[in-house]
Structure 1
Amino acid sequence: MRLRNAPLVRIAFAVAAFVSLSACEQNSFVAPPPPKVEVAPPVQRAITRYLDATGNTAPIKTVDLVARVQGFLQSINYQDGSPVKEGTTLFTIEPETYKLKLEQAQAAEVGAQATLKQAEADFKRQADLVQRQAVSQATLDTSTSTRDNAQANLQQAQVNTKIAAVNYGYTNVAAPFDGIVSNHLVSVGELVGVASPTQLATIVQLDPIYVNFNVNEQDVQRVRDEARRRGMTTAEIRQLPIEVGLQTETGYPHKGKLDYVSPTVNQSTGTLAVRGLVPNPDRVLLPGFYVRVRVPFDKQDNALLVPDVAIGSDQGGRYVLVVNADNVVEQRKVATGPLDEGLRIIESGLKADDRVVTAGLLRAIPGQKVDPQMQKGDATPAPAK
């Protein structure tokens, strides 16, 4: 009898043990702790707001050097591509011929002066004789005409002398300003200036140098609004500093100032043409370079900034995740500005004491609790040099 009931007893015991074990597991379940996230308050510091643009460099002066008189090129007095000072003779064009023409004109002027002197003396003599009725009035009229013709001939001779002097000066082609001269386009012994002025070379001034760029309509309005707030005049706006950097350079090492602002906005592009003037003593900037430009137009003492990684976006715009006093995650809509030394400027939507989630963003779900851990160390990225 006991042997037949043994399997039933073992089954009943196993069922009771399973039920007991299940009850123990249900009673010992504990909810997982809130996820840990790193938080940090916004960085608060003084910032400078900039207009950023891309532009290109251009020389402030560039002149084609031409032969303004006809003759054979006698000498080239510079090295191609070399810097020259204003007034330096660069080319010489057969000066002897024009020197002789000048001397000829000067001699003719001296002769005209002598003729006029004689004609004036004869006129005075004839005028005295007419008063004494020793000669007729017709004789005086002839003397007067001779004197007037002598005066006209002297004036013509003086003009011819000046023309000859100018042409003689053109035989030496000099640098009109300090600059760099291009390669020569003619050779010694070549006949130049035959039918029209012959281009000899080009001279370019590189120090200082222009930087041309365009500002969009929205930025123009921002600058004008800020200028009105600060009481700046149009002349003061045109004296704003500018900072320039080449595409291969870090930061904006070249400093200058605004030089020109167009009075009208281009309707086809919606931009305003602006020009800066930048010192270029080492000739690092060459005409035609594409450059990065920024113009500081506003300063703010207590701006709020957060790491760019802490900012998300959705159909509603940009946002950050903050942890409130109950350690619950909230999604906060923000208006963002440009980057400043690696951090993103927050225009509105944050307060200085907010705790912004900076790490563990995937674990931070709006409406749920988290375990906020204050970020250790300096979270501010190193500024760009």
Structure 2
Amino acid sequence: MTPPTVSTSIPLSRQINEWDTYIGRFEPSRTVDIRPRVSGQIVAVHFTDGATVRRGELLFTIDRRPFAAALAEANANLASARSELALARADARRANNLVGDEAVSKSELDRLHARVQAGIAAVAAAQARVSARLLELDFTEVRAPIAGRVSYRRVDPGNLVATGEGTRGTLLTTINALDPIYFVFDASEALYLKALRAKQDGAKTSAIEVRLQDETDYRWHGALDFTDNGLDPRSGTIRLRAVVPNRDLFLTPGMFGNMRLASSGTTTALLVPDAAIQTDQARKVVLTVTKAGIVEAKPVVLGPVVDGLRIVRSGLAPSDAVVVGGIQMATPGSKVLTKPTRIEPAAPARPAPAPAISGEATFAS
């Protein structure tokens, strides 16, 4: 009988990037809770809810009148202390002139000199109180400590706000810095070890790419900048973070994204059609045809699929004739006729965007 004919081809050799995929969430690169540093009544709000603000931009104004009065009082006390110091210095100078005539006792002279030192200290204390009142007056203008997107105002004009340590003060609003923005994700121990091994072998970790839920392309690019100092013993994962530029402020904290990371760099790989992979009990094999026309099964170690083709990590030589057509007629050890062909990658499949949530609709009148 005539041996069956099968289609064969040598493996396709291509430069590839292998990616590890993760799901993560965007977080602000910096976030600040705006709280008052002095207590008083809010008299004005100077921003629009959700607007982008610059660093130092005025956000709230607290009633300045009590603090202006306190500053005036501190200035008056400073003037009084300076006057007392000037009088003490004059008395000390007159006493020094009378020392030669023994018209002033030693104890009186010491008392006058001590009065001068006390006057100097009183002036310094009064100046410190003036500086403190100036700071309090300056704190009546609540300004943005960072640039970013401001949240909504939590206090309207006319309300009283109070200062306090930590989180005990009245929360006025929050500001999130969004350019750049962080992408935070958790990696399993296996993937973390894989990246570490690749780094030890000299591979350079490439930049990360992120795709949003309604996108088909990985259009957002960034770079890893932080790896936590330990794995979570409960989940066995480790927290990592990437920095992503966000110049148009499109990305918002809380968004989910699909991220991919190339941990092994660009390598040369052999690829065969995924349909050419056979299962022999617990191992994967590829059928090849020898020069004598005999079918031979070769155990292989597989990688991911790229454009419909399966990466073969080991077990296959670049010159092997792989059976890619008529596989059902090829049995290991049997003789076959071969028909040469070529392996071609399929068009890359793009993930479909997430469907929009349906609402209500009515006919227009």
TM-score by length of 1: 0.81
Matched position secondary structure for 1:204: strand
Pick aligned residue for 2:330 from 364, 377, 380: 364
2:178 match? 206
| 1:146 CA displacement | 1.7
Do the aligned residues in 1 keep the contact of 2:36 with 2:163 (CA within 8 Å)? no
1:162 match? 131
2:30 match? 61
Q: Give the structure with higher Rg (CA).
A: 1
Do the aligned residues in 2 keep the contact of 1:44 with 1:305 (CA within 8 Å)? yes
The one-letter code matched in structure 2 to 1:202 is: T
Looking at structure 2, the residues matched to 315 and 172 of structure 1 have their Cα atoms a distance apart, in angstroms, of: 75
1:184 match? 153
Matched position secondary structure for 1:286: coil
Give 1 or 2: higher helix fraction: 1
1:226 match? 198
1:37/1:251 CA distance change after superposition, 3 Å = farther
Give the 5 Å matches for 1:43-54: 43-54=12-23
Alignment RMSD (CA, Å) = 2.5
Matched position secondary structure for 1:259: strand
1:247 match? 213
1:185-235, Cα deviation, whole Å (9 max, x unpaired): 1111112217852111111111111112223333333333332332x8xxx
| Number of residues of Structure 1 aligned to a counterpart in Structure 2 | 347
Moved more, 318-327 or 159-168: 318-327
1:297 and 2:274 equivalent? no
The one-letter code matched in structure 2 to 1:213 is: F
The one-letter code matched in structure 2 to 1:374 is: P
Looking at structure 2, the residues matched to 320 and 161 of structure 1 have their Cα atoms a distance apart, in angstroms, of: 86
Moved more, 84-93 or 213-222: 213-222
Do the aligned residues in 2 keep the contact of 1:105 with 1:160 (CA within 8 Å)? yes
1:128-159, Cα deviation, whole Å (9 max, x unpaired): 43354220112112212322221222122122
Q: Which runs of 5+ in 1 are unaligned?
A: 1-30
1:307 and 2:279 equivalent? no
1:351 match? 317
Looking at structure 2, the residues matched to 157 and 322 of structure 1 have their Cα atoms a distance apart, in angstroms, of: 95
Moved more, 134-143 or 212-221: 212-221
Q: Which runs of 5+ in 2 are unaligned?
A: 351-365
1:272 and 2:238 equivalent? yes
1:339/1:120 CA distance change after superposition, 3 Å = farther
Looking at structure 2, the residues matched to 125 and 317 of structure 1 have their Cα atoms a distance apart, in angstroms, of: 109
Looking at structure 2, the residues matched to 227 and 294 of structure 1 have their Cα atoms a distance apart, in angstroms, of: 17
1:30-64, Cα deviation, whole Å (9 max, x unpaired): x4x44443332211122223333222211111111
Looking at structure 1, the residues matched to 199 and 15 of structure 2 have their Cα atoms a distance apart, in angstroms, of: 19
1:285/1:328 CA distance change after superposition, 3 Å = farther
1:79 and 2:44 equivalent? no
1:85-127, Cα deviation, whole Å (9 max, x unpaired): 1111111111233233223323322332332233233323323
Do the aligned residues in 2 keep the contact of 1:310 with 1:358 (CA within 8 Å)? yes
Pick aligned residue for 1:373 from 331, 339, 362: 339
Looking at structure 2, the residues matched to 314 and 133 of structure 1 have their Cα atoms a distance apart, in angstroms, of: 120
Do the aligned residues in 2 keep the contact of 1:42 with 1:306 (CA within 8 Å)? yes
TM-score by length of 2: 0.85
